[in-house]
Structure 1
């Protein structure tokens, strides 16, 4: 399932190596998948702004919102665009900086033991069929590599950072995602 041996790169994803990553703690089991959503500027899709954010080259002067976030050092393992195409920023076995202050079932620092997938989207607009198909494909690959990630160990950013985050939001169809995952 992994490209080029044990590189941690998913089949079908274009790789952009983000500097916003590091090694996971020793003997850390990867056993959580976190689903996020992102749009830059907020509510707008397309373009290179998300890539620029994760690659530390977001132009603060390009949009007023970017002044608030251009200095952030964040990443995810995988971004799924509206057309279903995938961009991977961090090898799966490395720690991406996607969850921030977080807690899952009493365990803090979710970045240590999770894989983060961003969907290009927002709380106000439905996700595309192509995104669901791509997410299912990526989830299957990840679950095959990390068998401790089961359906019960897939959650939202909102669930691990309540009150701070809302993504992937009410427009994400969890029932459809899990139905497709098991079909």
Structure 2
């Protein structure tokens, strides 16, 4: 599926608005794409917990892990499930809360100038072809709308927060992904 970005919304993505966002600093130019992974509970896929988490509706009694994270207020712009389905939580022109304490090429607070895409997965479990295809189409649409996001300005969460984060992890095939978007 080919995606298109119109006024910060991705055509073809399911809209599931998160309250966890705010305005980017005035004059900020979007110039970075950050790839993440998430699964809730860890290692479990194709349920509605990620959506609930990003909407602050995580049912804490459904899993012990949820008790640890239910107070967090986080979001990503986009989420790609194992089947390649895409959900959008935050308008791309707004600042999602995905990177946390982060630094790219000497610039801190990456949320100010980045778009965050979460892949449903873990550091160790290979991602699906459907996810790579959706990520490819999303990346190309995003780069078309935000031309400062060059291939050199696409990175993993682990690269901008190396002391805190490991995602998208060794299971993510950067070489394959970079071939797809070249």
Pick the TM interval, shorter chain. Answer: over 0.9
Equivalent runs, 1:25-174 vs 2, <5 Å: 25-174=25-174
For the residues of structure 1 that align with 2:110 and 2:69, how far apart are their CA atoms?
Answer: 21
For the residues of structure 2 that align with 1:179 and 1:157, how far apart are their CA atoms?
Answer: 20
- 1:2 alignment partner in structure 2: 5
TM-score, normalisation: structure 2:
0.97
For the residues of structure 2 that align with 1:59 and 1:155, how far apart are their CA atoms?
Answer: 31
For the residues of structure 2 that align with 1:141 and 1:89, how far apart are their CA atoms?
Answer: 17
Q: For structure 2, which runs of at least 5 residues remain unmatched after alignment?
A: none
TM-score, normalisation: structure 1:
0.96
CA contact (8 A) 2:123 2:169 kept: yes
For the residues of structure 2 that align with 1:15 and 1:21, how far apart are their CA atoms?
Answer: 15
Structure 1 residue 2, shift from structure 2 partner: 2.8
SS of 2:5's equivalent? coil
Flag as ranges the 4+ runs of structure 1 deviating above 2 A. Answer: none
For the residues of structure 2 that align with 1:98 and 1:56, how far apart are their CA atoms?
Answer: 14
Aligned residues: 179
Structure 1 residue 160, shift from structure 2 partner: 0.5
Q: For structure 1, which runs of at least 5 residues remain unmatched after alignment?
A: none
